């Protein structure tokens, strides 16, 4: 069951990335053509593209943590013995999970404030709906870092293979 859930989440994330990037390319290309050839454009396209960049960044970060291909500074790990690498990995995963959890927590506050203020992002779309990816994305990343930390502690032999 868990394997099926993980495959489904991978499919959703990958599909969202493909869809978001494709729409971004189409909207930006149409906007360029409209501005250069017809001296007009869509008034909502620039705010939409800014929001889509936010979504692509966070969905991409979620996918990166899923694949353990996120940005990592691991100079120290090249000089540590296997046990030191394990401890370093656990500490790094714990710190990453805490930071992402804090960002998710404060992201929820931010989205609630946006909901209460009733602001619009573009074309009558509420700002809070566009910004909801922030707490969701950081919560997913916090969960994945936590799972990685627990996996390192329970299965140190797999952590050595990853290093």
**Radius of gyration, CA atoms only, the chain:** 20
- pTM across the whole model: 0.89
The DSSP letter of residue 78 is G
- pLDDT-derived band of residue 161, with 50, 70 and 90 as boundaries? low
The token pair that represents 69 in the structure block: 């291909």
Whether the per-residue pLDDT at 162 is higher than 70: the answer is: no
- Are 163 and 77 spatial neighbours (Cβ–Cβ below 8 Å)? yes
Over residues 112-144, the pLDDT tens digits come to 999 999 999 988 999 999 999 999 999 999 999
Whether the per-residue pLDDT at 88 is higher than 90: the answer is: no
Distance CA 73, CA 142 (A): 18
- Are 59 and 137 spatial neighbours (Cβ–Cβ below 8 Å)? yes
Cα-based distances in Å from 108 to 118, 120, 132:
15, 18, 8
Of the candidates 50, 62, 44, the one whose C-alpha atom is nearest the C-alpha of residue 131 is: 50
- Are 133 and 61 spatial neighbours (Cβ–Cβ below 8 Å)? no
């Amino acid at each position: 069951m868990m394997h099926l859930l993980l495959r489904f989440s991978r499919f959703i994330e990958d599909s969202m990335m493909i869809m978001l990037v494709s729409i971004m390319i189409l909207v930006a290309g149409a906007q360029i053509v409209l501005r250069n050839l017809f001296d007009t454009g869509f008034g909502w396209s620039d705010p939409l593209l800014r929001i889509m960049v936010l979504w692509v960044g966070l969905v991409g970060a979620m996918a990166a943590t899923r694949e353990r291909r996120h940005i990592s500074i691991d100079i120290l790990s090249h000089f540590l013995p296997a046990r030191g690498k394990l401890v370093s990995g656990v500490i790094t995963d714990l710190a990453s999970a805490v930071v992402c959890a804090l960002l998710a927590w404060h992201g929820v506050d931010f989205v609630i404030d946006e909901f209460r203020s009733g602001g619009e992002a573009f074309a009558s779309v509420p700002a809070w709906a566009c910004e909801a990816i922030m707490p969701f994305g950081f919560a997913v990343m916090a969960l994945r870092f936590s799972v990685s930390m627990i996996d390192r502690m329970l299965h140190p032999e797999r952590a050595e293979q990853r290093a």
